[in-house]
């Protein structure tokens, strides 16, 4: 995952970048963040990728995330795309070095312009298209839809759920059996809340965990 902490590597010479990789990049990235303090962190989350930071399987999310602590911001981004922070070694090292706290339910998250969330548009992503048969989508925001795609990709499309996963603004006021993804589909028998929900929460439920 490349967000705030790993992106700080852009501030060092190419020779040092190569040395970071030879040392094993995770601990050097954490130490670099301990030395070069950042007070305002911005993550371009407009279009990520399922597997590679330079593209190949793009996932449109249409969001920008900002915060004051790189470890908190990166741990929040990790959960959005389906990882627990400790699964990403440079985040774990950063926590050990006292760079800050992981995102939690107590973290103050302020959403700006929620009324302007772009609606998901179908793209030519063959890796993501394989999961469409599992999804019943109606006017889903791209941020919400991308969380679901990241979760399904992490699970390889293997889920412990019957019926389709309902997602989108078109499900407001509707309900029934099955699983609703996000606050708009809260009327379903089971709903994974969030606006957007985190991919980690979706994974937890789709693998048989309790809501």
Angle between helices 26-35 and 14-23 (to 10 degrees): 130
Helices vs strands, H then E, count in the chain: 8, 6
Residue 3, pLDDT > 70, answer yes
In a domain, 77, yes or no: yes
Same domain, 10 and 84: yes
Rounded (10°) CA dihedral 184, 163, 77, 7: -130
- As for how many domains the chain has, the answer is 2
Q: Are β-strands 165-167 and 135-137 bridged in parallel, bridged antiparallel, or unpaired?
A: parallel
**75 with 124, same domain?**
no
| Together in a domain, 73 and 129 | no
192 occurs within a structural domain? yes
Residue 28 has pLDDT above 80, yes or no: yes
Same domain, 12 and 79: yes
Mean pLDDT (the chain) is: 89
Residues 88 and 26 in one domain: yes
User: Tell me, what's the pLDDT at 162?
Assistant: 76
Whether residue 113 lies inside any domain: the answer is no
- Do residues 92 and 136 both lie within one domain? no
Final residue of a structural domain among 62, 96, 130: 96
Residues 136 and 85 in one domain: no
C-alpha to C-alpha distance for 7 and 85, rounded to whole angstroms: 17
> pLDDT confidence of 58, banded at 50, 70, 90?
confident
Which of 63, 96, 129 is the last residue in one of the domains? 96
Residues 12 and 90 reside in one and the same domain: yes
Closest CA to 185 of 148, 132, 131: 148
Residue 82 lies in a domain: yes
Evaluate whether residue 75 is within a structural domain: yes
CB 158 within 8 A of CB 60: no
pLDDT at 73 over 90: yes
Question: CA-CA distance, 190 to 188, in Å (whole number)?
Answer: 5
- Look up the domain containing 92 and give its range: 4-96
Q: Is 183 within the bounds of a domain?
A: yes
* Residues 195, 130 share a domain: yes
Do 73 and 133 have their domain in common? no
Q: DSSP label at 130?
A: T
80/129 same-domain check:
no
Model pLDDT for residues 11-27, shown as the tens digit of each residue: 899 889 888 888 889 99
Tokens of 33: 């963040």
Is 110's pLDDT higher than 90? yes
pLDDT, mean of residues 173-180? 89
Query: What are the start-end ranges of the H helices in 59-158?
Result: 70-80, 89-96, 126-129, 142-155
In a domain, 109, yes or no: no
In a domain, 197, yes or no: yes
In order, the DSSP letters of 137-165 are ESS-BHHHHHHHHHHHHHHTT--S-SSPE
Which tokens go with 27? Answer: 């601990």
Tell me: pLDDT of 77 over 90.
yes
């Amino acid at each position: 995952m490349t967000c705030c902490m790993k992106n700080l590597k852009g501030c060092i010479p190419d020779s040092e970048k190569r040395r970071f990789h030879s040392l094993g990049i995770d601990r050097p990235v954490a130490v670099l963040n301990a030395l070069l303090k950042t007070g305002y962190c911005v993550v371009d989350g407009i279009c990520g990728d399922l597997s590679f930071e330079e593209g190949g399987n793009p996932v449109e999310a249409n969001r920008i995330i900002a915060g004051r602590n790189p470890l908190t911001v990166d741990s929040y981004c990790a959960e959005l795309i389906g990882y627990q922070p400790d699964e990403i070694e440079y985040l774990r090292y950063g926590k050990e070095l006292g760079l800050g706290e992981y995102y939690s339910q107590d973290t103050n998250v302020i959403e700006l312009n929620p009324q302007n969330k772009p609606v998901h548009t179908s793209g030519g992503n063959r890796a993501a298209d394989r999961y469409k048969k599992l999804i019943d989508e109606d006017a889903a925001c791209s941020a919400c839809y991308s969380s679901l795609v990241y979760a399904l990709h992490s699970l390889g499309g293997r889920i412990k759920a019957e019926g389709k996963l309902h997602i989108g603004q078109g499900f407001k006021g509707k309900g029934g059996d099955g699983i609703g993804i996000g606050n708009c589909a809260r009327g379903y028998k089971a709903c994974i809340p969030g606006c957007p929900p985190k991919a980690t929460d979706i994974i937890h439920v789709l693998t048989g965990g309790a809501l």
